[in-house]
């Protein structure tokens, strides 16, 4: 794929980059794990709270300097996406909804145009 085709595929809804849909993920179990980790220890800003694999991607959850949850998505050693989930520490219902939104995006076409960008979840692209 030449550079122009690759760039065009990022901005179109017809991005067919061969990404496979990941296995079913138990979001409630992930949220419960996060809850128990945050309850049992004090985790400094920017430090990993929880990490897991999904569809050949490594996902890492932490909180930024504003206290907002952040999920970074890596493919191997390359950072692909980052998502900010706008909820306070301990608001696990909103965190669960945000995680569901991230999983929906990763199961979809993964084009820049379809990155979530609303009050609860904002997505950022880092490169192919």
Average pLDDT over residues 90-110: 93
Residue 85 lies in a domain: yes
Expressed as residue numbers, the domain containing 61 is: 47-128
Domain for residue 99, yes or no? yes
Sheet with 50-54: strands ordered across: 50-54, 57-63, 69-75, 78-85, 121-125
Number of domains in the chain: 1
Is residue 36 included in any domain, yes or no? Answer: no
In the structure, what pLDDT confidence band is assigned to residue 3 with cuts at 50, 70 and 90?
low
Average pLDDT over residues 114-123: 95
Res 90: pLDDT: 87
**pLDDT number for residue 9:** 55
In a domain, 8, yes or no: no
pLDDT of residue 16: 44
Of 31, 27, 30, 66, nearest to 46 by C-alpha is 66
Residue 43, CA atoms < 13 Å, CB-side half-sphere: 21
Task: Return left, alpha or beta for 59; rule: phi > 0 is left, psi -120 to 50 is alpha, else beta.
Answer: beta
Indicate the pTM of the whole model. 0.79
In a domain, 11, yes or no: no
Residue 14 pLDDT more than 90? no
Mean pLDDT across 76-80: 92
The percentage of the chain sitting over the pLDDT mark of 90, rounded to a whole number, equals 59
In a domain, 24, yes or no: no
Say if 23 falls within a structural domain.
Answer: no
What are the CA-CA distances from residue 8 to residues 1, 59, 109, 111, 113 (Å)? 11, 26, 13, 10, 11
Residue 89 lies in a domain: yes
Please give the Cα distance from 113 to 77 (Å, whole number): 24
Contact at 8 Å (CB) between 16 and 111? no
pLDDT > 70? residue 53: yes
Give counts: helices (H), strands (E), the chain: 3, 5
Question: What pLDDT, in 10s, does the model give residues 58-73?
Answer: 999 999 888 899 999 9
């Amino acid at each position: 794929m030449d550079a122009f085709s690759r760039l065009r595929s990022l901005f179109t809804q017809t991005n067919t980059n061969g990404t496979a849909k990941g296995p079913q993920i138990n979001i409630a179990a992930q949220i419960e794990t996060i809850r128990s980790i945050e309850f049992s220890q004090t985790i400094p800003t920017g430090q990993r709270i929880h990490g897991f694999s999904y569809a050949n991607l490594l996902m890492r959850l932490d909180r930024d300097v504003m206290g907002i949850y952040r999920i970074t998505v890596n493919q191997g050693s390359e950072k692909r996406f980052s998502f900010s989930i706008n909820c306070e520490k301990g608001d696990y219902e909103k965190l669960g909804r945000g995680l569901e939104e991230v999983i929906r995006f990763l199961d979809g076409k993964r084009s820049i145009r379809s990155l979530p960008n609303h009050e609860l979840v904002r997505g950022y692209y880092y490169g192919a």
